[in-house]
Structure 1
Amino acid sequence: MRRMRKRGAEAPENHERWLVSYADFITLLFAFFVVMYSVSSVNDGKYKILSQTLDGVFNATQRAVQPIQIGEESATQPHSDVPNLLPFEQPDRDEGTTRHSDEDGRLRDISRRFESKLKTLIGKGLVTVEVTDEWIELSLRNNLLFTSGDALPVDAAFTLIDSISEILKDYPNAIVVEGFTDNIPIRSDVYPSNWELSAARAAAMARLLIMGGVGPQQVAAVGYGEYQPLADNSTTAGRARNRRVVILVARSDKVRQFIRRVPAE
């Protein structure tokens, strides 16, 4: 009976368990005061900068905030990634000057390559190359490209436009292909008027340029019909000059902007 009582006796209760909770509470309280102290502490460096700035504003004796040296002074000044700019317009002006210089250079290159590649046709008066400050105007007589009253290119047109595409595909410039006719009314079931004929011819040449490697986003096609004559339509020679396709190469790469500012002939 004595052994049975020993085994069934309960262990004495630990009255010091509250110390664990108390220690946790003290630890949390200590952490709380540390955080509060760190938040409320003043950054001496920032305070001095603010003080100097306010002093300069109100006393008008200081126009710039002087840096505060913390730690040992370096023998060399730190390198700054921010360039020292004089007027704030300078970066834009330099960038614009460089862009315009590049655009001028591209126009000159394209013009020289046109004149070299098409020298024979230029000598015969079938092709002309004119250069302005804003674009190059490459004018091609219609008899090099189409038969009368049709917008289907002749065989020789493919070779000619391929040689032009070989030049233009190397540049990002905007290109507008323009179609023109004389004032003789067209009689065709396909083209109700010279407007449709001139637009179809311009589109055909634009398509050949794209097939030759020119980016389609660079190209637009416009038809003017008989309403932008280059010469007098009352003569045979004048009508022949008016029947033409013009390839305008802009100095910029913005096609729609270029179309809107092209003046009438």
Structure 2
Amino acid sequence: MSDLKQIIVVRKRRKGGHAHHGGVWKVAYADFVTAMMAFFLVMWLVGAGTKQQRAAISEYFKNPSMTQGQSTMAPSGKMGPGGASTSMIKLGGALELPKGPGDQQAFAKPAESEVEKLAKAQEKRRLEQLMKDLNEAIAKSQAMAPYKDQLLLDITSEGLRIQIVDKQNRPMFDTGSGALKSYTVQILHELAGFVNQVPNQISISGHTDSAPYIRADSAYGNWELSADRANAARRTLIEGGMQPEKVARVVGLAASVPFDKANPAAAINRRISIVVMTREAARAALSADVATEPGPPTVPHLHSPG
């Protein structure tokens, strides 16, 4: 027997048989991202365009040709019905918008009236929230509990109005004087913090009843008295922490705007009115020669004790 060397061939199988697919997912993912970008671009164009522009986009997808027409069928092209159009296509890279004087641009700014409307709505919500916070604070405050029935809150055309009214046996001021009672000072100090919560400016007005008040020198009456009391309230609010620049107007109205019109001599007519004004009211107050205050509410919001 001849000695023959047996040749053994060892074939090694390479691992990772799918290695040649390693980059395929990247291509598929890139295609997906591109498709999503195109989708969101179309959605943005539809949302940003005018009604006429949206109609034009809709017509394009019904009839993808640059040739103007009313047909809802795709035009015939080199590849048959529905194929590529033979019309020339502009490759400008952007949607061409009408440029006529009456046409609206897709990037047009919101109308000034719309901006003003939104600002007023936001301001109204802010003042309503302030009124809610005040009502809750007054209801929970032990210090203010005895005076709840003398605090009246309502929303007027000028803004949030806070009125502190006299009671027959509990006046806010010394008789015939601008000197505040100690509890009135306490109330105003409490209110100062709440008024500071909003950026709005305020108006302060003093009111008297119809009883004539004339000092011996006859030069000082209800007009002077109401103005002094309004200014005393201003000083006390600032002492309580209110920013001085928030005050836009301080006026004395004497008995010209009675709370109780049926009884001008009633104690409730003697009051201090603090209005957290809207921006529009503040502009009017700072520009008008004569400032006025809205009349008393038809149904005032009265806090009853307890």
Normalised TM-score (structure 2)? 0.52
| Offset at residue 91 of structure 1 (A) | 4.9
Determine helix, strand or coil for the equivalent of 2:276: strand
| Offset at residue 234 of structure 1 (A) | 5.2
Contact kept, 8 Å, 1:129 with 1:139, in 2: the verdict is yes
Contact kept, 8 Å, 2:156 with 2:294, in 1: the verdict is no
Aligned pairs for 1:102-121 within 5 A: 102-119=122-139
Contact kept, 8 Å, 1:182 with 1:226, in 2: the verdict is yes
The structure 2 residue matched to 1:96, chosen from 103, 116, 127, is 116
Deviations 1:72-105 (A, max 9, x none): xxxxx8xxxxxx9548462534532432232112
Residue 260 (structure 2) aligns with: 231
Deviations 1:39-68 (A, max 9, x none): xxxxxxxxxxxxxxxxxxxxxxxxxxx898
Contact kept, 8 Å, 1:250 with 1:258, in 2: the verdict is no
Query: Who wins on radius of gyration, i.e. which is larger?
Result: 1
Tell me: CA distance 1:189–1:86, structure 2 relative to 1, closer, same or farther (3 Å). farther
Deviations 1:211-261 (A, max 9, x none): 2232322212110012222225757xx520111111111122763514757
- Cα distance in 1 between the residues matched to 2:173 and 2:234: 14
Letter in 2 for 1:206: R
Residue 167 (structure 1) aligns with: 194
% identical equivalent positions: 22
Once the two structures are overlaid, the 10-residue window that deviates more, 114-123 or 143-152, is 114-123
Tell me: CA distance 1:89–1:146, structure 2 relative to 1, closer, same or farther (3 Å). same
Tell me: CA distance 1:67–1:94, structure 2 relative to 1, closer, same or farther (3 Å). farther
- Cα distance in 2 between the residues matched to 1:140 and 1:105: 23
Residue 207 (structure 1) aligns with: 235
Normalised TM-score (structure 1)? 0.59
- Cα distance in 2 between the residues matched to 1:91 and 1:245: 40
Residue 223 (structure 2) aligns with: 195
| Offset at residue 210 of structure 1 (A) | 2.0
- From the two aligned structures, give the one with the greater helix fraction: 1
The structure 2 residue matched to 1:246, chosen from 273, 298, 306, is 273
- Cα distance in 2 between the residues matched to 1:149 and 1:254: 31
Q: Which runs of 5+ in 1 are unaligned?
A: 1-65, 70-76, 78-83
User: Aligned residues, how many?
Assistant: 186
